[in-house]
Structure 1
């Protein structure tokens, strides 16, 4: 009975989200309340939901301070000089331009927001592609590849969702995947090199006055930050990255401390500090609301033992010999599933069931989370018609969606395969 109720709860949520009848936040809450009552758990419902909220609170706190920190660094122009120098260096060489596209995307992608990454990078590079008559499918492809791998960072949406869904520490998901992520970035540069070389062979190197051209055409605005502040912000960011990798303190605390320091140093006036926080309120309010709503949903699903019952049912139909290979199977199938499941449906609907199933075969659920991050909503999200940011990418690039999908798929799937191999070799996922 619990198993059937759990599957009905999951299917109801997925249908409501996939058919866009309700937003994910509303669907999480409505479905949780409805099935708690249907299952006869109305008396315990409040406590179950609070338990779920408490479980995801550390994740919500981390994402708030991460968004505020990188939003501040972008606002004060920390990354602008690097991007400007890259644009001046590439001149009229298609190969250099494509490689620079990947590099700039990676730099801008540090904020963990796919939409802003697409807007900034495409706006900066599109004039060069137009000026040289370069294939804009290459632009959308390389930006998608780089943004996809960068979406694996701890403050990006996929890892936040996976951590909240599985109730695991983000460092347990991310740190073992660092070698795989590096491999994904290397593959991105390799792909950019191959594509750029073909463009260079097709159109040759064209001499243009890049400095004046980029100054007029690029939408990147140079902020007036003193050299002292620039170097302080750079050193602070490097120190933060090192401490994140070393796991010196919980991620939430590191970002909170770093943001507080950066805010105080860059904006001494309390009113200006408040305005800086409010300028990014939309971003962190939306994602935090989603995380807390997911906590309510998962609190009911886990607290009523529905999840356990569903896992037992699935285990009963999975061939015994297939169980040990679940992490690799999840990794390989995670990218194609972006065409079927949006991020919320996959991470909060599908992933918990798979992880519970894997646990019955002696596989740590955190491995399933790592495997999912190798494709779904990372390398695959710029392909999905279910992710709004995808349409920002193709809209700004001026390419056809179908052509973009066909052009990008093999390169994106190649990224997942490369990262999966490295994840297996380094022990991040078992095989």
Structure 2
């Protein structure tokens, strides 16, 4: 009698636990679905969603405000270091952009390219790679497209080629530790972005070489299509490049005499990051201080540069901190575990051990459809949890998913710089995606294979 009574109590407890488990899973999926929908529709800022959605979801899950606060703080502990890194890295490269760090290099490259179609496309790749050192997509587009487009028009090279090369350069350079995708992945993994980047360096170097190779191939293809200058035509590159009206205030910030100092300073900063001799945040803090002192000796000028970049640095860092609330609640509340169990029941057991490779193959189209935040903060944590049941380390999942997603950056209709790029190049978005998708997908898969061959990604 007593045994039957205890058995009934145990069964009821199991039912309650199962019901709570299903409820948490349902709430978690609902949160991600709502986040993806709202982001796709552009109805709210990611910062707002990362704060409001997890709080509402946790309350519906039966958690107290005190518990939710603990969940949020656990997530913030993961994001605070990378958020601070973003503040100083964005400001540093913003200052470097103000002083025209690569103006001399880019101008010389363009002049040396002359009228050679292949040389022009290769220079485009180099300019795109250098332009994306700050990890900001809009800056890369503004540095590359207006500078190169007049040459493309004069030499009858399709503008889609220009956008494709910029997209590839941007994708491989976005693996830098201050690049958005790398920082987001580091947040989900709970690790330092610089440590994650050091693992990705061989793949990134391969991507840089591949991008330059792609540019050369595209140049050859365009030459065969008839692009170039006829022998009877003489063109002065300096005369043909459209003169862009630049605000006098912008020109006043340029420091051409300090160009090589700024390039050397940036090279030293990157070397220190690679060697991991000093924490990444401290490296950028010191680099920024030196850059401001040398380029802008007056206090008012220094304060002016900091204020000029404060809005973008604060927005990105605040969004990064807010994402900690989302990740913290999703993880600490048990929602992520519940969701992974639900997905696990749908994944054929034979495919489980290959889940990270499957996601690597699908990374580019998924990243293109979902956008950055939904991909890294919604999909990635879920796949990590499911993959863990098959013994696949979280880092392995993250590495495969970040490679392809990065290359999808400038063909995603959810990324504002995509529309900036096609607007500057006067190319329809469907033509841009149709032309670039296959090439970029090939680069994504090639980098994935490279990761396997380098031993970075395990089979």
Same fold (TM over 0.5): yes
User: For residues 297 and 217 of structure 1, do their structure 2 counterparts lie closer, same or farther at Cα, with a shift above 3 Å needed?
Assistant: closer
Structure 2 match to 1:274: 303
Equivalent pair of 1:325/1:430 in contact (CA under 8 Å):
no
Secondary structure of residue in 2 paired with 1:362 = coil
Cα RMSD for the two superposed structures: 2.0
- Inter-partner Cα distance in structure 1 for 2:33 and 2:110: 48
Output one character per residue of 1:37-58: Cα deviation in whole Å (capped at 9) or x when no partner. Answer: 1111123112221221222001
- Answering whether residue 406 of structure 2 is matched by residue 406 of structure 1, we say no
Structure 2 match to 1:318: 347
Structure 1 match to 2:52: 30
Equivalent pair of 1:73/1:233 in contact (CA under 8 Å):
yes
- Inter-partner Cα distance in structure 2 for 1:397 and 1:3: 45
Moved more, 84-93 or 265-274: 265-274
- Answering whether residue 230 of structure 2 is matched by residue 203 of structure 1, we say no
Structure 2 match to 1:155: 178
- Cα offset, 1:384, TM superposition: 1.0
- Answering whether residue 112 of structure 2 is matched by residue 89 of structure 1, we say yes
- Cα offset, 1:226, TM superposition: 6.1
Structure 2 match to 1:52: 75
Structure 2 match to 1:176: 199
- Inter-partner Cα distance in structure 2 for 1:56 and 1:131: 48
User: For residues 203 and 22 of structure 1, do their structure 2 counterparts lie closer, same or farther at Cα, with a shift above 3 Å needed?
Assistant: closer
- Answering whether residue 402 of structure 2 is matched by residue 373 of structure 1, we say yes
Structure 2 match to 1:122: 145
User: For residues 297 and 204 of structure 1, do their structure 2 counterparts lie closer, same or farther at Cα, with a shift above 3 Å needed?
Assistant: closer
- Cα offset, 1:335, TM superposition: 0.3
Secondary structure of residue in 1 paired with 2:297 = coil
Secondary structure of residue in 1 paired with 2:351 = helix
For structure 1, the 5+ residue unaligned runs are none
Q: After superposition, where does 1:301-340 map in structure 2 within 5 Å?
A: 301-340=330-369
Structure 2 match to 1:188: 211
Q: Which has the larger radius of gyration?
A: 2
Equivalent pair of 1:168/1:366 in contact (CA under 8 Å):
no
Q: 219, 237, 255: which one pairs with 1:225?
A: 255
Structure 2 match to 1:346: 375
- Cα offset, 1:243, TM superposition: 1.4
User: For residues 16 and 297 of structure 1, do their structure 2 counterparts lie closer, same or farther at Cα, with a shift above 3 Å needed?
Assistant: same
Moved more, 407-416 or 186-195: 186-195
- Cα offset, 1:190, TM superposition: 1.6
- Cα offset, 1:289, TM superposition: 1.7
- Cα offset, 1:152, TM superposition: 1.6
- Inter-partner Cα distance in structure 1 for 2:277 and 2:251: 35
User: For residues 119 and 362 of structure 1, do their structure 2 counterparts lie closer, same or farther at Cα, with a shift above 3 Å needed?
Assistant: same
Q: 20, 27, 42: which one pairs with 1:5?
A: 27
- Cα offset, 1:249, TM superposition: 2.3
Q: After superposition, where does 1:122-141 map in structure 2 within 5 Å?
A: 122-141=145-164
Secondary structure of residue in 1 paired with 2:176 = coil
Q: 30, 33, 36: which one pairs with 1:14?
A: 36
- Cα offset, 1:155, TM superposition: 0.9
- Inter-partner Cα distance in structure 2 for 1:173 and 1:23: 27
- Cα offset, 1:67, TM superposition: 0.6
Structure 1 match to 2:312: 283
Secondary structure of residue in 2 paired with 1:335 = helix
